[in-house]
Amino acid sequence: MDLNPQQEKAVQHKTGPLLLLAGAGTGKTHTLCCRVAKLIQSGVPAHKILMLTFTRKAAEEMKQRIDRLMDQDCPVLAGTFHSIAFNDLKNLGILNNLSGIFDDTSQAKFIRKELKKKCFEAISSYSPREFMRFFSLCTNTMEEEIKIIAAHFPSWLSHSELIHKLKANYCQHKNKLKAYDYDDILCTWSKALEGPNLSLAQQCEYILVDEYQDTSKLQIDILKKLCKQHDNIMAVGDDCQSIYSFRGALPEQISQFSLDFTGAQSLTLEENYRSTQQILDFANKSMLMAKGVIQKKLRSGLDSQGQDPDILFSSYHKTSEKEICKDVYLKRSQGIKFDQQAILYRSTLHCLRLEMELTRQGIPYKKFGSKKITDKSHIKKFAAALSFVFSSEVHQLALNQCLEIIPGLGPKTVEKILLEISNGKQLKDIKLPTKSHDAVHELISFQKMAINKNNLEELIDFTTPLIFNLKEDNRKKLKDIYTISEELRKAQNWDDFYTDIILNMEVDHTDHDELLTLSTIHSAKGKEWQSVHILAVNEGAIPLQSSQNIEEERRLLYVAITRAKKQLKLYVENSKELRESSRFLENLVTLKQSTHKTKHTQNTIVIEPKSNNDFQELTYVSEDRPGTALAQSDMDELTYIPFYD
């Protein structure tokens, strides 16, 4: 086993609680696996060792590594909290009357149905997913409902009684179905661990926990019960990478480990085997002002030297996208394939125009944390409307998609209309149901209009009530619509726009040998790439405008920085919405307003426009329109991915 001195100490640890503070890229998985192998070699039966992770993939990877280290199949009990809990409950006979799992889709469907009731009208505008997050936080933090509302959903305070009633209805419905949601599995497991019968997990003599900083209060309570008889727990984590407070995980859990597990020892891993020292110096500097974490100074264990990270200041949003695409192609020509490069961002809102540019330039990519802009249902529907209005020849598919969103037109009616059109009849001459007559003729009135700001705004005003449920928060979706419209306005020619962008919506890159990665920072955690670009390092983006936890935003930037192995670039935008550079850059570089390259300790480059026209502000989306508002980040989409895989 090739281990550095600190890793060796962790592996050789005898008994009792141990906290292993493992910085990014310091070989924590290797250390964990070597620790398990050492225990087995010392005579501990493999089935008496429990390994808890947060994804099934991580559990499987660690088990495979252990098998390779031991050169044999080792029946270590490894899995996610939820999978181990489920197996324990099943073996104890507690799940005999369970009818099934009340999954995310079923939860959202039930809540959506409840919100349509008259009694819940006052809270009907909130997303079902937000209520699901609230229910989960109540369980995982073990806090009172009113405290959760005050801390995470302050705008709900005036509706707390209604929300309590909705939660009660939700629980009543689950009980009626005899079904569990995923949090119920952990709650039931916690109670079962207090019973007279020992579960399989309780019979284990050693417990190892990965990503301890991501555990909730409920999970820590479970861990205490699991190791009550022996205290042989080894927790591996990094409070600097604690970025899931929205689902009940806090960095303080690391510093409180010795309070939760009396007599705990601690070790720190700071030797990094991923990144160059230049990137690590940059990462260390980004956390100098961090609060609530244990400071670590990462140092590179690699021989190779790299270049300083670049901070690029854009004078116009579009310019940075072209610069990124140019750099992606350059890196590929230098031997860094697309799949070894990544573009990271705080929210999908910050990568919309980049997606358009990637599509235009034919760079294949995969996206994590949310759907591609071109895969979203509302974009396809709006693109169909654009095609109907601006195309010289209306395609039947676009017409079909347009008619499908018109109220009063069912599939059979749409089929009849398309048949009449194929027989030479004009849409305006076809007899339509009364309910759909005005909407269809208003859609026809848009045809052959000029592509300009006013016409596009009118088209958006017409289509949004048809595409969206107006009772829901559609700010993110509207932002997508505005982005597509703005790109069309710049192109000024539908056929060119269709060829460059819309047509590429149908191109499937899933079988491509190498795909560039686009990812939210949350979804990038635990991954690494040779070259990393971080978008929109601005106030309003990192940190997010709506964030109530600035320190977690700082840790998010740190997580993004430490994904890079050799090359790192950060982009500061200067657009209508994002004007100020992020406060987190203050320790990294002295910012100066300049139109030329500036010399600092860190590489800072101003992306200069090719012409004066590039200095024009993006005036298409007016300030008072809802689409200009920065919507919730993709963190909220990740919120609904529970701790299981």
CA dist., res. 148 & res. 630, Å (int): 24
The annotated binding site is made up of 22-29
CA dist., res. 570 & res. 534, Å (int): 5
Domain ranges of the chain: 5-93+187-269, 108-177, 299-369+512-595, 373-504
pLDDT digits (tens, 9 = 90+) for 104-159: 888 999 999 999 999 999 999 898 989 999 999 999 999 999 999 998 899 999 99
Residue pair 475/627 in contact by the 8 Å Cβ criterion: yes
The mean of the pLDDT values for the chain is 82
Residue pair 204/234 in contact by the 8 Å Cβ criterion: no
Residue pair 312/323 in contact by the 8 Å Cβ criterion: yes
Whole-structure pTM over 0.95, yes or no? no
Among 578, 588, 543, 609, which residue's Cα sits nearest to residue 311? 588
- What is the pLDDT, as a whole number, of residue 610? 41
CA dist., res. 402 & res. 387, Å (int): 9
- pLDDT band at residue 313 using 50, 70 and 90 as cut-offs: confident
Residue 17 C-alpha from the chain's centroid: 32
pLDDT digits (tens, 9 = 90+) for 337-377: 999 999 999 988 788 888 888 888 889 888 887 666 666 77
CATH architecture group of domain 299-369+512-595: 3-Layer(aba) Sandwich (3.40)
Q: Is 73 exposed, middle or buried (0-12, 13-18, 19+ CB in 10 A)?
A: exposed
Q: Residue 218: is its pLDDT beyond 90?
A: yes
List strand residue ranges (DSSP E) for 548-642, in order.
564-572, 598-599, 603-607
Alpha helices in 434-474 (DSSP H): 434-445, 453-467
Mean pLDDT of the region 521-528: 92
Selected from 3.30.70.1400, 3.30.450.20, 3.40.50.1100, 3.40.50.300, the CATH number assigned to the domain covering 5-93+187-269 reads 3.40.50.300
List strand residue ranges (DSSP E) for 184-334, in order.
206-209, 233-237, 265-269, 271-272, 299-300, 310-314
Do 5-93+187-269 and 299-369+512-595 fold alike per CATH? yes
CA dist., res. 511 & res. 216, Å (int): 38
In the block, which residue shows the tokens 């790299």? 306
Among 280, 295, 299, 288, which residue's Cα sits nearest to residue 239? 295
pLDDT digits (tens, 9 = 90+) for 4-39: 999 999 999 999 999 999 999 999 999 999 999 999
Give Cβ neighbours of residue 447 (< 8 Å, ≥ 6 apart): 388, 389
- pLDDT band at residue 397 using 50, 70 and 90 as cut-offs: low
Q: How many CB atoms lie within 10 A of CB 160?
A: 14
CA dist., res. 642 & res. 360, Å (int): 35
Which 3 state secondary structure label does DSSP give 345? Answer: strand
Q: Residue 1: is its pLDDT beyond 80?
A: no
Position with higher pLDDT, 222 vs 457? 222
Residue pair 348/376 in contact by the 8 Å Cβ criterion: no
Q: Is the dihedral of CA 449, 452, 453, 454 positive or negative?
A: negative
Token code pair at residue 438: 């005005």
CA dist., res. 467 & res. 460, Å (int): 10
The annotated binding site for ATP is made up of 22-29
Strands 310-314 and 603-607, by their bridges, are parallel
Among 521, 519, 513, which residue's Cα sits nearest to residue 584? 521
Residue pair 532/344 in contact by the 8 Å Cβ criterion: yes
- pLDDT band at residue 396 using 50, 70 and 90 as cut-offs: low
